[in-house]
Amino acid sequence: MSDEFIGFNVFISGSGKGLGRSTSIHLAKRGARVGVSDIDGEACDETIRLIREGGGEAYGFICDLSDRAAFHHAVGEFARKVGPLDAMINNASILRYEPIENVTPETLDLMLGGGLKTVMWGTQALLAHMNPEKGASIINYASPVSYRGYPNTAVYSAVKGAVLSLTRVMAAELGPRGVRVNAVAPGSVPTPGATAYVGIEEYDRRAQSIPLRRLGRDEDNAAAVAFLLSRDATFINGAVLNVDGGIVAAG
């Protein structure tokens, strides 16, 4: 276990599975105390188990983070255990691909809740539980769809476009308070959420067309998040780091 993030308190939304889980484990291995939170209780417990098995420190909060009161309560409890927060990682989101005419009010509410409200409530919760003298950091999860029009991704793309806008607004609004706000935009990582919609053949096709000729990996994104949170990034604010092997650049 390295010690770069010893004494660093980070809360990660949607960290029961996928990139949230791997980033939690990565930061805990480097010394951070991690608040793990997910609507999926079993997945949340498993992330906690994996972190503790590796000698890390983590606390679990099973709740629907689209609920403002629930998010604030979870972060308040985490801060009560570990002290003021140093970072919030707004990772939770719900992936669903479908033609525009199939989008129902339920889908829209669910995806706006899981992918957009969580970013707003996570940011508010950080502001309420950080040390204003010390400052803090926020990482939002954008996507290649934030920049381009991919058919059948209307709600997901709208959510990720909004996350990109919010990153810029928050960087401008919160920078003067010592809060850096950046985003990572992962490309094609076969996580549980993604593989429910993207099959093996499509992943093979993508791996051939991505400039670096491979899919994204959990560790690519965890390392990018760790860099943006680190002492090496203290003047980086409002940036979006494309962790995508060149997908966005190639178009």
Residues with a catalytic annotation lie at 156
DSSP string, 48-59: HHHHHHTT-EEE
Q: Does the protein bind ligand NAD through residue 157 (CB under 6 A)? A: no
- Strands across the sheet containing 136-141: 57-62, 33-38, 9-13, 87-90, 136-141, 179-186, 240-243
User: Taking CB under 6 A as the rule, does residue 14 contact ligand NAD?
Assistant: yes
Is residue 245 at the binding interface for ligand NAD, with CB under 6 A as the rule?
Answer: no
- 114 DSSP 8-state letter: I
Place of tokens 């994204």: 216
Query: Measured at CB, which residue is nearest to ligand NAD?
Result: 193
**Where would I find the H helices in 83-217?**
105-112, 118-129, 154-174, 192-195, 200-209
State which of positions 38-97 bind ligand NAD (CB under 6 A): 38-40, 43, 64-66, 91-95
In the bound complex, what is the minimum distance in angstroms from residue 79's beta carbon to ligand NAD?
Answer: 18
131 closest CA partner among 171, 70, 87, 84: 84
Pick the closer one to ligand NAD by CB: 32 or 185.
Answer: 185
Contact with ligand NAD (CB under 6 A): which of 189, 225, 241, 247?
A: 189
Nearest-approach distance from CB 189 to ligand NAD, in angstroms: 4
Interacting stretch for ligand NAD, rule CB under 6 A, among 9-17, 27-35, 124-132, 232-240?
9-17
Cβ of residue 108: shortest distance to ligand NAD, in angstroms?
A: 14
- In angstroms, the CA 121 to CA 229 distance is 20
* Cβ–Cβ < 8 Å for 130, 150: no
Which CB atom, from 103 or from 194, has the smaller least distance to ligand NAD?
Answer: 194
- State in Å, rounded, how far the first CA of the chain is from the last one: 39
Comparison of 143 and 237: residue with beta carbon closer to ligand NAD: 143
162 lies in the binding site for ligand NAD (CB under 6 A): no
> For residue 34, what are the β-bridge partners?
10, 58
- Residues 152 and 167 sit within 8 Å (Cβ to Cβ): no
Q: Is residue 186 a contact point for ligand NAD (CB under 6 A)?
A: yes
Site for ligand NAD in 92-111 (CB under 6 A): 92-95
- Per CB under 6 A, residues contacting ligand NAD are 14, 16-20, 38-40, 43, 64-66, 91-95, 113-114, 118, 141, 143, 186, 188-189, 191-194, 216
